[in-house]
Structure 1
Amino acid sequence: MSELASKKCVPCKGGVPPLKGEALQALQKQVEGWDVVEEHHLFKTFKFSDFRTALDFVNRVGEVAETEGHHPVITLTWGKAEIKIYTHKINGLTESDFILAAKIDTLNK
């Protein structure tokens, strides 16, 4: 388990700037396969052998999201789940987004 995956998401109260530049790059190195898109959100596609397996994964992601109080955008199609993560309150990325990404990765091992 990565160091990030062992941390807890912290609710954002707003009023803080989103992470940019080197801060994003340093955190991205800790979440393999996640793309930082336009310094705004994280994105990753998870592929599965069928719909049921993808659905089970999405349900596990939902459980983690509820536990952490941090909710991604999830798109589910046959054999695929796409996850988009960002902090809605500041319309950008915080460390909590990377923590959630790391926790989601542990579900797909």
Structure 2
Amino acid sequence: MTEICEPCAGFGGAMTAEAAAARMGELHPDWRLDGAALTRRFGFRNFAKAMQMANLAGWLGEAQGHHPDLAFGWGWCTVTFTSHEAGGITANDFLCAKKLDAITGQIAA
């Protein structure tokens, strides 16, 4: 996947809820629309794997210039993408979620 995130400043506002819902089929079914964000909770059998997922999502965010909100603990990691500058979900959020799906080998069916 060679697409990269566009700078958020100046490209307009967030997607409508309907537009975001229409794109959900592009993502692994565990992604959820959570208000103005895309959220996915990953489950693991130990703390180390959860921390590795947080690091992986952080690495992807840094590489794309579009950083997720992360929370993790023993056996779980939650990744949330939103475009704070736009006030909600944008194409960048979907792009990063799709890239995370591809990296983890868990793409949409």
Q: Which residue of 2 aligns with 1:8?
A: 4
Q: 1:97 aligns with which of 93, 99, 103?
A: 93
Structure 1 length normalisation: TM-score? 0.86
Structure 1 segments, 4+ long, off by >4 Å, are: none
User: Partners in 2 of 1:6 and 1:30 — Cα distance?
Assistant: 16
Quick one: which amino acid aligns to residue 92 of structure 1? G
| Alpha-carbon shift at residue 27 of structure 1 (Å) | 1.5
Percent sequence identity over aligned pairs = 29
Is 1:34 the counterpart of 2:31? The answer is yes
1:56 maps to which residue? 52
Greater RCO structure (CA 8 Å; 6+ sep) = 1
Count of aligned residue pairs for this structure pair: 104
**Alpha-carbon displacement from aligned partner over 1:1-59 (angstroms, at most 9, x marks no partner):** xxxx5421111114612101432122211012211122x11111000110001111211
Once residues 51 and 94 of structure 1 are traced to their aligned partners in structure 2, the CA distance between those partners, rounded to angstroms, is: 31
In 2: Cα distance, 1:79 partner to 1:45 partner: 10
Is 2:30 the counterpart of 1:19?
Answer: no
One-letter amino acid matched to 2:5: C
Query: Cα distance 1:100–1:15, how it changes in 2: closer, same or farther (>3 A)?
Result: closer
Provide the C-alpha distance between the structure 2 equivalents of 1:21 and 1:56, rounded to a whole number of angstroms: 31
Q: Distance in 1 between matches of 2:33 and 2:66?
A: 18
- Asked if structure 2 preserves the Cα contact closer than 8 Å seen for 1:57 and 1:107, the reply is no
Gap regions ≥5 residues in structure 1? none
